[in-house]
């Protein structure tokens, strides 16, 4: 949504035009392959006992994975980095909000590349991002393992696309697996009550020339195959043995934590970052209203949100039309819709699990 993309450049087989290599050691800009940081046990069996809020940390764990793929924040353990990002950018019992996610991306050396998409996206838009060398950080909806019950909103990353047209998902809860385009879109539509957020990310010093996934060291065969049961699911076993109550983040228990003071980011700055990205290119002209003819701005925004809550295609079409409109009335509706998406957190756990013993 609201992103100026060249739709004629759609490349469905982006395996040969994805990312840029980075060996992480000599400062070369770009991407390298890296293990997905697990939000439950970021350092595996060596995870510090001081690590807390595992069920809420999909956002900072995804940002930490980006850091490993860019070769930044070396010398700091995964658990320390996840804790720092969560504490600094205000991850709470609702998880990580989109503005905070964008702040984390910048914090680890990533660059938000263009406008974020909310509520819906086209495969051609996502493929264009991947083909130009970006990674896609996405807020999606999780389901119970039965594939029927909604379980919460979750941050993941799309690392590329294989030769069969499946997306390569790096999931801080479930690891690496493939998802079909339909599975990914369905999960995106399930996020929260009105759909997810998609953020295109490039390394801050990207040379801009995409290279193949193979050049990054990515083995597409190492991703679990796409199936009806694998993608975007969770259940109580994912947090078995983990304290699921929300606690105050602290870096005191990590020897490799940053020692400087003033780590906390201004949440208003993160929200401004999100809103500014969403409003890029929304100059006002004399065009006719897309969907707001004869409607009050607040009523029009509420109507679109109500349709999205019911997974209605008309709501997604209205959202698309408003996001691309330059009519003054429509732009005001778009501003209200951005606020609704900005308030939605992503935690990567079932909401009812909080304060539950296993």
- pLDDT means over runs of 10, the chain (358 residues): 31 33 44 95 94 94 97 94 94 91 94 88 95 94 78 92 97 95 94 91 77 89 86 83 86 86 74 81 83 82 90 90 90 89 75 35
CA atoms within 13 A on the CB side of 68: 21
| pLDDT score for 349 | 55
In this predicted structure, what is the pLDDT of residue 262? 61
User: Rg for the chain (alpha carbons), in Å?
Assistant: 20
Phi first, then psi: what are they for 332, rounded to 5°? -65, -35
Residues 6+ apart with CB under 8 A from 147: 228, 229, 233
With beta carbons less than 8 A apart as the criterion, state whether 107 and 91 touch.
no
The predicted pLDDT at position 345 comes to 83
Gap between the Cα atoms of 322 and 314, Å rounded: 12
For residue 47, the model assigns a pLDDT of 95
Q: Distances from the Cα of 274 to the Cαs of 90, 112, 172, 214, 280, in angstroms?
A: 15, 10, 23, 33, 10
Matching residue, tokens 């658990």: 79
Give this prediction's pTM.
Answer: 0.86
**CATH-assigned architecture of domain 1-218+265-358:** Alpha-Beta Complex (3.90)
Cβ atoms < 10 Å from Cβ of 191: 27
**CA-based nearest residue to 351, from 246, 198, 194:** 246
Strands 135-144 and 117-118: unpaired
Residue where the block lists tokens 């079932």:
350
CA distance 111 to 7: 22
- Give the whole-angstrom CA distance, residue 70 versus residue 24: 6
């Amino acid at each position: 949504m609201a992103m100026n993309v060249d739709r004629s450049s759609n490349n469905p087989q982006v395996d040969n035009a994805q990312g840029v290599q980075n060996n992480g050691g000599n400062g070369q800009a770009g991407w390298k392959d890296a293990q997905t940081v697990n939000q439950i046990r970021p350092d595996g069996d060596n995870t510090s006992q001081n690590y807390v809020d595992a069920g809420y940390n999909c956002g900072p764990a995804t940002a930490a994975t980006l850091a490993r793929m860019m070769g930044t924040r070396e010398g700091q353990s995964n658990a320390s980095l996840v804790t720092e990002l969560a504490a600094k950018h205000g991850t709470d019992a609702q998880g990580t909000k989109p503005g905070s996610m964008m702040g984390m991306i910048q914090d680890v050396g990533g660059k938000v590349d263009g406008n974020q998409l909310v509520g819906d996206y086209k495969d051609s838009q996502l493929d264009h991002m991947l083909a130009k060398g970006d990674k896609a950080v996405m807020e999606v909806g999780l389901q119970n393992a039965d594939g029927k019950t909604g379980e919460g909103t979750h941050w993941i990353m799309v690392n590329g696309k294989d030769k069969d047209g499946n997306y390569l998902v790096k999931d801080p809860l479930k690891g690496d697996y493939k998802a079909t385009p339909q599975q990914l879109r369905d999960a995106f539509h399930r996020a929260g009550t009105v759909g997810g957020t998609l953020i295109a990310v490039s390394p801050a010093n990207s040379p801009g020339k995409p290279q193949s996934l193979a050049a990054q060291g990515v083995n597409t065969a190492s991703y679990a195959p796409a199936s009806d049961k694998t993608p975007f699911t969770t259940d109580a076993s994912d947090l078995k043995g983990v304290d699921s109550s929300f606690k105050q983040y602290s870096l005191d228990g990590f020897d490799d934590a940053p020692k400087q003071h003033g780590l906390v980011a201004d949440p208003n700055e993160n929200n401004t970052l999100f809103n500014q990205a969403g409003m890029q290119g929304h100059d006002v002209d004399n065009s006719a209203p897309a969907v707001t003819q004869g409607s009050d701005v607040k009523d029009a925004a509420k109507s679109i949100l109500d349709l999205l809550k019911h997974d209605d295609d008309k709501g997604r079409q209205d959202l698309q039309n408003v996001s691309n409109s330059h009519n003054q009335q429509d732009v005001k509706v778009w501003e209200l819709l951005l606020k609704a998406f900005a308030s939605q957190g992503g935690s990567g756990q079932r909401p009812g699990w909080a304060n539950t013993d296993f």
